[in-house]
């Protein structure tokens, strides 16, 4: 087991190291312009030199992402419960929900900007919008796929509707809720960055654009890597909560 864990950590790191070395060699051997493709060492250097700036710009992006995600959870799960338990609501809302998904979120961004301005609210709104759908759909799917045997058991014990919901449906749906949440948190980062691209005064996305326009490619790349790291950390955080809350939900236990 420990050996497997080591292998699973070691091999991707090894692969990454190979890519970084190849990249470094390529940029040096062919004297690639720093503006076109900065080398890993350039990016690392920019990361260190602009550490304070990068850190300061991380907070607005992180805040918008997490807040948008949390609001999506708080509004999405109750809506999923309603949709899963009411035929009328399901028939009414589900097609609308799916239809709104065909609207490209990037295209909504300018409109959201008109509503909420250049501050935190716009990116938060976009992060929320993209995170909302996977949470609602996966939670509703989970609530509807309660094992029929468990429902029959609850019925044979004459459990009340609330008992059926709280003791059977909801726990059975939790693994689905988390699979939706993991997709949602990743999308929320993207949503926040879209918000920053379209119009904002701060954040890593904003920094990336600004650095790019000033041909400060190493800093732009550094911002990109920080954004990726942010996404990975947030995903890992949700996965960790899942392990704590749904210890039975993993295929391998």
Partner 1 sequence: MAEVNSALKRAGTGPDPAPFGRFRDVRQSFARPGQAPLHAIEAVSFDLERGKLVSLLGPSGCGKTTLLKIVAGLMRATAGVVQIEGVDVTEPQPEFGVVFQTANLMPWRSVLRNVLLPIEIRRDTGGAARAAALELLSLVGLAGFEHARPAELSGGMQQRVALCRALVHKPRLLLMDEPFGSLDELTRMEMQDLLLDIRARTGATVLFVTHSISEAVYLSDRVVVFSRRPATIADMIDVPLPYPRTPELRYCATFTEIGHRAGRALGVSR
By the criterion CB under 8 A, which residues form the site for partner 1? 147, 149-150, 152-159, 163, 167-168, 171-172, 174, 246-248, 253
Question: Which CB, 213 or 251, lies closer to partner 1?
Answer: 251
Helices 120-144 and 170-198, interaxial angle, to 10°? Answer: 160
Nearest distance, CB of residue 175 and partner 1, angstroms: 9
Alpha carbon distance 37, 35 (integer Å): 6
Question: Which CB, 36 or 253, lies closer to partner 1?
Answer: 253
Nearest distance, CB of residue 82 and partner 1, angstroms: 23
CA–CA distance from 100 to each of 105, 108, 132, 216 (Å)?
A: 9, 11, 11, 38
Nearest distance, CB of residue 77 and partner 1, angstroms: 17
Alpha carbon distance 129, 103 (integer Å): 11
Question: Which CB, 138 or 216, lies closer to partner 1?
Answer: 138
Q: How many residues does the chain have?
A: 253
Helices 87-101 and 51-85, interaxial angle, to 10°? Answer: 150
Rg (CA), the chain: 22
Question: Which CB, 102 or 251, lies closer to partner 1?
Answer: 251
Nearest distance, CB of residue 172 and partner 1, angstroms: 8
Alpha carbon distance 45, 130 (integer Å): 34
User: Nearest-CA neighbor of 41 among 51, 58, 55, 27?
Assistant: 27
Question: Which CB, 104 or 149, lies closer to partner 1?
Answer: 149
Nearest distance, CB of residue 137 and partner 1, angstroms: 22
Is residue 218 within 8 Å of residue 27, measured between CB atoms? no
Question: Which CB, 144 or 167, lies closer to partner 1?
Answer: 167
Burial class of residue 11 in the structure, from the number of CB atoms within 10 Å of its CB (0-12 exposed, 13-18 middle, 19+ buried):
exposed
Nearest distance, CB of residue 243 and partner 1, angstroms: 13
């Amino acid at each position: 087991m420990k050996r497997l864990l080591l292998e699973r950590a070691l091999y991707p790191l090894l692969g990454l190291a190979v890519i970084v070395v190849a990249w470094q060699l390529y940029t040096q051997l062919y004297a690639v312009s720093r503006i076109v493709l900065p080398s890993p060492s350039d990016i690392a250097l920019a990361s260190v030199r602009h550490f304070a700036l990068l850190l300061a710009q991380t907070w607005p992006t992180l805040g918008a992402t997490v807040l948008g995600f949390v609001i999506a959870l708080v509004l999405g799960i109750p809506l999923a419960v309603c949709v899963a338990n009411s035929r009328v609501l399901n028939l009414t809302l589900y097609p609308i929900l799916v239809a709104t998904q065909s609207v490209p979120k990037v295209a909504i961004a300018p409109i959201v900007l008109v509503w909420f301005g250049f501050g935190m609210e716009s990116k938060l709104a976009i992060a929320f919008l993209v995170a909302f759908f996977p949470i609602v759909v996966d939670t509703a799917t989970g609530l509807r796929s309660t094992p029929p045997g468990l429902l029959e058991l609850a019925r044979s014990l004459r459990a009340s509707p609330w008992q059926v919901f709280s003791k059977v449906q909801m726990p059975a749906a939790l693994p689905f809720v988390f699979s939706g949440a993991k997709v949602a948190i990743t999308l929320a980062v993207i949503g926040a960055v879209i918000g920053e691209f379209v119009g904002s005064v701060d954040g890593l996305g904003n920094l990336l654009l600004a650095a790019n326009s000033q041909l400060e490619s190493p800093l732009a790349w550094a911002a990109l890597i920080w954004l990726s790291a942010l996404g990975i950390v947030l995903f890992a955080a949700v996965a960790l909560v899942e392990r704590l809350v749904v210890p039975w939900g993993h295929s391998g236990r």
